[in-house]
Chain A
């Protein structure tokens, strides 16, 4: 410890600290331009000058380490003079742009110039007059306003690891921009825009449209991906103007990705439903709540009378927990139906079901901080950067700054591959084979027969696995102190997903990671609230708290707690719902932001099946295939308008807050359902999203809001307090119930810690017995001679289909292009931008190609967001629910490429 005196205040700090950090600790602000807490110091702007009292020297506080006994002055006449001179120099070439500069009003340079009165310069020079670089679709670089602090370059290198911009030229001519005067081509996270202390970087979307002082700022949680970024939505007159982040706030620590930062425009376009619609004479006509609700209610009442499980419900996993909770209670209590399913069915359910069966919780055992500390990270079947951007950033940081050994097992080169120690490029779909071999070898640890080994070698040869890389990974996994496996979308969408996830569970169990802190599995959910919606019991398998909905005991506990009988039937998921509708056993469908038609190939009869329904209620924001055939379309509020809580991939429960008024007549989902229940004559009596949350917290106290900057979440999801009339300490490991005011509330007395590390138990085997057998030979899609595997992937620039309505994101990625290996394209004489057609046994579709070195020569990829009916026509028609979890299987298919078709 070093003792430092700053402006007379004595602080004890670590000797490795800089003076700036010590001053921060003492609560003394020091102005900075180029300093950034997440990056290495650069010392380039010279504004953070401080004076050392003893030597009378002026030093830069952001780069100078403290020394014991140091006495520092942050304000003195000498410092004032130094800073003022420095500002004069910074402003030497600076244009007098403040009135039109987007930064004006929140500009540190402007503020400093006011503070130090650097209004006139003693130096003579010309004003910079470099034309702006407006080539990029997103960012505009104005070199004249740049003070060359280098923050933008460094954040792109050190945090995003994208290296898209740099210093160009030298001396007075230095400017910032993409190399060689090219058009900027990057991830468009906008972090450079965020950190730039001047108006040198602006963006095309809001350029010149606002002044910072006119904007109202509201912190909220991004509802696209499960990273759960904290962002600030800034509005003027109930319209979103921009989205910003704040250094250090939230699990994202101030970075947000392109979708979160720029994807806000779709919620304020005229295409959005702003009033309820009702079908009349085959047309949807605008109506009002007063008119539609009684109609829907009487229809539902009539169907409800027919028996249980007569009404099906689908819910998107981008809605807050509150809405999911109300959704399931509406169905189970009011509609007597357990025919409910969530959007997670298409992908994440494949991981959630086995994991819950094994561990009893959906809480990840590790979080991003553990990723930073992990010695070995294995990323398999996932592209964290595009699936959960912040997770990707943390993996990058772990590999780059913390020197963790990163292994990537994927057919495609993902952006993490360049940081990986080994990228094992299996053939498309081979991730699962790889994991199976790995788990077997770890389990048997050396007791493997020669036969097994020769089979392994053969498999590795067939699936293109580098055996030496595999050996290195195996050795590292066995010997490492802490290791984390990150798995995602690609793995969950294999033809036999349960087998893949099971291998992961075996590996974590056999390596002894379940009980070891900082080790484990980090699965990436697909949407922002997959975890929360499932924890709230919005799928047919689970009641709230992940309790088995078919187990009479758990049903009984909830009945007692709610004080109402749950008269639902056995229920079922998407598969059973479609089957039930087809057989006439289900007569109505209520969909909250889901559109099953868009997920299946056009020949799969989904539309035909759905047309058998007596009533379709589509609660959505935009027109889609389901709303086109719905009898009632109800306008839903967006995540920017309502309040609630989302559970991030790390398990943090974070609030979304209203940033603008409800769009038109739209209402949040819980309110629509509540009003519907009133109209049906069996009111649920929900007052507000807050009251729902307090009800949830009463029963599931460990879902209390949490974030990294606050306290960690507490307990496993297994901690459920149902109908517990105790008022005294109940001996629970996590907290005690106390009387506070009139109500019963929970107080946590034990230190907050992470999910309980229950071991992978026999419960899993039991669950495995119960599910249906997956097909024995899953590898339908290995490419044959001259064939490819077409895969639908997640794009970095879109999230689901909704963002296709967003003008900003559409500008960044306007259309889906078929990515093909560059060499293959060259060989087959296919050029960028040409059209090719793909053929399968089921259909033909033409695509614009984009050759890319990232794709392997056996593979073609296409962003799933743009997969419309034409693209889906390539996939086998029919409803393929062959996976063990009842998830539909349509993400990979063998295709042959027809380049003759070029036109």
Chain B
């Protein structure tokens, strides 16, 4: 042991060096957010919980096409298509379940959806005491969609999936078969 190291041990130099950083941060601006009392602003492209969307007239958009089920890499979606009970010419999702315990929030399903029935929101804090609580049926997804409509539109816009809606052309809206405007 050299003299220098002996002195270092006696005078706790190393600890002082370490604490220097700590003391410096005493006087800096705080970064910690006091969640849940405080929340950060999330970007529009944030891939939070997935929701189901409706047309302006309240009609649910999903046509039960199964494309989201087909693309989902985590096999989190199950769609059961059927004839719409009121409009026999229309297809709809008789059952739609999204298993958020499996979902990896990749956003593929939103891209696959031809009618913009899916979008992602800034919701992320949906917890549950059971697994079943995280398996969302269609009505739950729609309710969430109603609550977070602005977020879902913002997501689609920032991810370039809103053009067709805005194009004004009837074709761009992908209504299968044309949905009454009432």
B91 CB within 8 Å of chain A: yes
Q: Contact between A99 and B67 (Cβ–Cβ < 8 Å)? A: yes
A97 CB within 8 Å of chain B: yes
Q: Contact between B65 and A99 (Cβ–Cβ < 8 Å)? A: yes
Q: Contact between B91 and A208 (Cβ–Cβ < 8 Å)? A: yes
Q: Contact between B63 and A134 (Cβ–Cβ < 8 Å)? A: no
Q: Find chain B residues with CB under 8 A from A211 CB.
A: 65-66, 70, 81
A457 CB within 8 Å of chain B: no
A182 CB within 8 Å of chain B: no
Q: Contact between B70 and A134 (Cβ–Cβ < 8 Å)? A: no
A26 to chain B, nearest CB (A): 35
Alpha-carbon distance between A127 and B91 when the two chains are bound, in angstroms: 19
B170 to chain A, nearest CB (A): 8
Alpha-carbon distance between A207 and B92 when the two chains are bound, in angstroms: 11
B158 CB within 8 Å of chain A: no
A253 to chain B, nearest CB (A): 32
Q: Contact between A132 and B89 (Cβ–Cβ < 8 Å)? A: yes
Q: Contact between B66 and A214 (Cβ–Cβ < 8 Å)? A: yes
A240 to chain B, nearest CB (A): 16
Q: Find chain A residues with CB under 8 A from B178 CB.
A: 129
Alpha-carbon distance between A407 and B142 when the two chains are bound, in angstroms: 66
B 1-32 binary contact with A (CB < 8 Å = 1; else 0): 00000000000000000000000000000000
Query: From A104, which residue of chain B is reached at the shortest CB distance?
Result: B65
B82 CB within 8 Å of chain A: yes
Q: Which of A99, A104, A208 contacts B82 (CB 8 A)?
A: A208
Alpha-carbon distance between A211 and B80 when the two chains are bound, in angstroms: 10
A213 CB within 8 Å of chain B: yes
User: A134 and B89 in contact (CB under 8 A), knowing A100-B176, A210-B81?
Assistant: yes
Count B interface residues, CB 8 Å.
22
Q: Contact between A208 and B81 (Cβ–Cβ < 8 Å)? A: yes
B 66-109 binary contact with A (CB < 8 Å = 1; else 0): 11001000000000111100001111100000000000000000
Alpha-carbon distance between A351 and B146 when the two chains are bound, in angstroms: 71
Q: Find chain B residues with CB under 8 A from A207 CB.
A: 83
A209 CB within 8 Å of chain B: yes
B55 CB within 8 Å of chain A: no
Query: From A208, which residue of chain B is reached at the shortest CB distance?
Result: B91
Q: Contact between B171 and A99 (Cβ–Cβ < 8 Å)? A: no
Query: From B172, which residue of chain A is reached at the shortest CB distance?
Result: A96
Q: Contact between B88 and A96 (Cβ–Cβ < 8 Å)? A: no
Alpha-carbon distance between A134 and B177 when the two chains are bound, in angstroms: 14
Alpha-carbon distance between A95 and B178 when the two chains are bound, in angstroms: 11
Alpha-carbon distance between A96 and B173 when the two chains are bound, in angstroms: 10
B48 CB within 8 Å of chain A: no
- A200-228 residues with Cβ-Cβ distance < 8 A to B are 207-211, 213-214
Query: From A142, which residue of chain B is reached at the shortest CB distance?
Result: B89
Q: Which of A96, A134, A208, A209 contacts B171 (CB 8 A)?
A: A96
Q: Find chain B residues with CB under 8 A from A210 CB.
A: 81
User: A100 and B65 in contact (CB under 8 A), knowing A208-B81, A209-B81, A210-B81?
Assistant: yes
Alpha-carbon distance between A207 and B67 when the two chains are bound, in angstroms: 17
Alpha-carbon distance between A210 and B80 when the two chains are bound, in angstroms: 8
B64 CB within 8 Å of chain A: yes
Alpha-carbon distance between A96 and B164 when the two chains are bound, in angstroms: 13
Q: Find chain B residues with CB under 8 A from A132 CB.
A: 89
B114 CB within 8 Å of chain A: yes
Q: Contact between A99 and B115 (Cβ–Cβ < 8 Å)? A: yes
Alpha-carbon distance between A99 and B91 when the two chains are bound, in angstroms: 10
What are 6 residue pairs bridging A and B, where the CB atoms are less than 8 Å apart in the complex?
A99-B115, A100-B64, A100-B90, A132-B89, A209-B81, A213-B70
Interface residues of A (CB under 8 A from B): 95-100, 104, 127, 129, 131-132, 134, 207-211, 213-214
What are the nearest 4 A-B pairs in CB distance?
A: A99-B65, A208-B91, A100-B91, A100-B176
Known: A99-B67, A100-B64, A208-B91. 6 other contacts (CB 8 A): A95-B177, A99-B63, A100-B91, A132-B89, A209-B80, A211-B81
